[in-house]
A and B are shown apart, each in its own frame.
Chain A
Amino acid sequence: MKVVVPVKQVVVLDDEFELLPDGSGVDPDGIESELNEWDTFSLEAALQLRDAAGDGEVVAITVGDEDAEEGLLAALAKGADRGVRVWHDELQGADALAVARVLAGAVGRESPDLVLCGVQSSDAINSATGIALAGFLSLPHVAVVTGIASDGSALTVERELEGGLVELVRVSLPALLTIQTGINEPRYATLRAIKQARDKPMEVCSPADLGIDSAQLAASIGARRRRLAMPDRGGGAEIIEGSAADVAARIATIVKERMD
């Protein structure tokens, strides 16, 4: 079974991040990055399906600059067979739909049996890229999957609904699923595998290489960010100051008042 797994190197704001004065973004000094948590679950699901089928490959694809290669290497170290990174500077700030448009070019030429995306990325939290990609590729799709059983030509999946309800859904291959956390236990890469990841095939290409020109890219963008700001916390929480003992005493008082 050939499974493509789009992955994202996400941005994590550290405790002391600052906005740029013009509100156009965050000061790069306050930014760290890591492989998106959801993608560790979709990758694990792909590796398990490949291994259960006994043949095929897992291809990890990312849209990102050179820094995003770290996430791709993490995926290769965990067991993906090859990596593809697509980038051009005009993708800076691309939204979910534009990323999906680029991914469609890279995923489409692989003709996979299955595409597994994370439900969402932990930084943007759009929950949209995977299903937008399915739209571009005209693939049958199921969102927010917490269980997969395969018979080789079709899947029976569990779809997580609101309030603890699960729907069972059957879908034929090829298909695209978005994978929810908790579906499996993502593996850790061994030190040896981390070293060997650099020897695995990694292709770097641009949207133009995939037949996507600037006009198509611009037309695919779904939203334009006008402004970034600190959230208005409204009334916000009354912050309890002092030592841990002070905080504990105050919390005990509040609880006692409210429960009486």
Chain B
Amino acid sequence: MAGILVLAEARRGELRDVSLELITAATELKARAGGELAVALIDATPERYVARLAAAGVDEVLTVRSPVAQFEPHVSARAVEGLIERLRPTLVLAAHSIDALGFVPAVAATGGRGFLSDVTALGWDDGPVAIRGAYGDKLVAEYDFPGKATTLLLLRAGTFAPAAAGDGGGGARVTEVAIELDGVARTEHGGYREVPAGDVDITKADFLLSIGRGVEEKDNIERFEELARRLGATLSVSRPLVDAGWVPGARQVGQSGKTVKPRVYLALGISGAVQHLAGMRTAETIIAVNTDPEAPIFGVAHYGAVIDMFELADELEQALD
């Protein structure tokens, strides 16, 4: 009983980038964990991703053929049960992604296994050790998994550098694993829908003025729209303003919205939930203004100011007058 199993992800015919990040995390831990590093992909046509997944350090690529064309949580759960039974890995690494969150907690729970989600760092101390945020990411906590034969960890995307994809010449074994999956699906795919494009494409903007919950009321949004216009910026928002129906979804920055990479990202009244940070942390210069000095956004910002966004707006407007 040893080794690491990585669960790669694909969607609509494309390998998801986080798959290669998981391989990096696994290769960093492999020497201490002992055993082999296996990467598995559960998909209707898993063979198309095999070459890329056979990255340096990967000993075996396992393909599991799904009877359904799209991700299905119950199929994935049964497949992972089968893989754990076969490999008996110490660690299973998957992404803290919408798909994995849809089935991995169930696999961990029903099997009495170790489990932690949104993991941002890994270590080893006579067994796996994992770090994640606590109390709304205002603190960090360290966990271990005593007495667990297998521990499943969901790693935050963007935390580990992606491994160089294999080029088909790697030395990894490729094994097709037969797991009975017919009739296992309990949901039925009914198509995809994109969020309608808005009047602007925030991913193309060089300068984003982004506002969040701190704006407090719908009536205040117009003021910041105007301020953005006068500063030569494009207005973007964090999720709560879209949830409230105040701003169209096309303006949303974050995991479920757009990933942006402007030259300047000026965040006003945004605390910086992890889903938001996922969409803007690669901006060249991040300036964060928030009344809460512990707001997680200050952890990724280059410049920060602990003041009220309305007071700042007063001053910026005066300077422009």
Contacts and interface: CB of A to CB of B under 8 A. Distances in A.
Contacts of A163: 255-259
Contacts of A233: 298-299
Interface string A233-254: 1101111100011011111101
A131 B102 contact: yes
B312 A244 contact: yes
A148 interface: no
A201 interface: no
B52 interface: no
21 contacts: A101-B109, A127-B118, A128-B101, A130-B105, A134-B106, A162-B98, A163-B257, A164-B249, A164-B256, A168-B193, A220-B109, A222-B145, A232-B140, A233-B299, A234-B299, A236-B298, A248-B315, A248-B319, A251-B305, A251-B316, A258-B284
A13 B315 contact: no
Contacts of B225: none
B135 A164 contact: no
Contacts of A232: 140
Give 7 closest A-B pairs by Cβ, nearest first. A135-B106, A182-B243, A222-B115, A248-B315, A237-B304, A168-B190, A132-B109
Contact of A19 (B108, B139, B303): B139
A227 B123 CA distance: 14
Contacts of A182: 239, 242-244
Contact of A254 (B103, B249, B303): B303
A21 to B, nearest CB: 14
Contacts of A171: 186-188
Given A229-B139, A236-B298, A244 B314 contact: yes
B306 A13 contact: no
Contacts of B108: 97, 128, 132, 222
A132 B165 CA distance: 33
Interface stretch (B30-38, B41-49, B55-63, B289-297): B289-297
B164 interface: no
Interface residues of A, number: 83
Contact of A143 (B101, B110, B140, B318): B101
A167 B274 contact: no
Nearest to A220: B112
A156 B246 CA distance: 26
A244 B190 contact: no
Contact of A144 (B101, B143, B186, B243): B101
Contact of B144 (A17, A133, A226, A228): A226
A148 to B, nearest CB: 13
Contacts of B189: 167-169
Interface string B68-102: 00100110010000000000000000001111011
Interface string B115-136: 1111000000000011001111
A33 B99 CA distance: 30
B192 A167 contact: yes
